[in-house]
Amino acid sequence: MQLSELLGSTVRAADGARLGTVIDVRLCIGGDPNDHPAMPEVFGLIVSPRTSSSFLGYERSNVQQPSLLAALLRFRHRGTFLSLWSDVDRIEGKEVRLRGGAVGYSPVLRSDPRFS
């Protein structure tokens, strides 16, 4: 499976309730990124209950301009959450089923203050 195939998939809770649509896939890279970084691994899925469109980078906590667009995208994506990859129970076609007890986390990417 290619990760892009997950985009647009319906996400359901363990009981079958619809939670939203996969709008992005988060990856993490272990090790030293400057000296032979490890292969990227899937960290989680960004799930939006209202839309199947992207945040267009506005999920980054320091992106505020243009302010009208930032406000519109934040409103449109209210309720969006990060679901950890370890909370995915199974994937069948264009449907992702989360395991019981799955927790939703903030989708906001925070800047490392060392690079601000």
Residue 44 placed within a domain: yes
Q: What amino acid is encoded at 54 in this protein?
A: S
Would you place residue 57 in the very low, low, confident or very high pLDDT band (cuts 50, 70, 90)? Answer: low
Domain membership of residue 116 (yes or no) is no
* CA angle, residues 111, 75, 66, in degrees to nearest 5: 60
Altogether, the residues listed in the chain come to a count of: 116
**pTM, whole model, 2 decimals?**
0.79
Q: From CA 20, how far away is CA 104, in angstroms rounded?
A: 12
CATH number at residue 33: 2.30.30.240
Q: What is the pLDDT of residues 66-83, one digit of tens each?
A: 777 667 767 776 788 999
- Go through 62-101 and write b for each residue having 16 or more CB atoms within 10 A of its CB, e for each that does not: eeeeeeeeeeebeeebeebbbbbeebbeeeeeeebbbeee
Range of the domain at 95: 3-110
Number of domains the chain is built from: 1
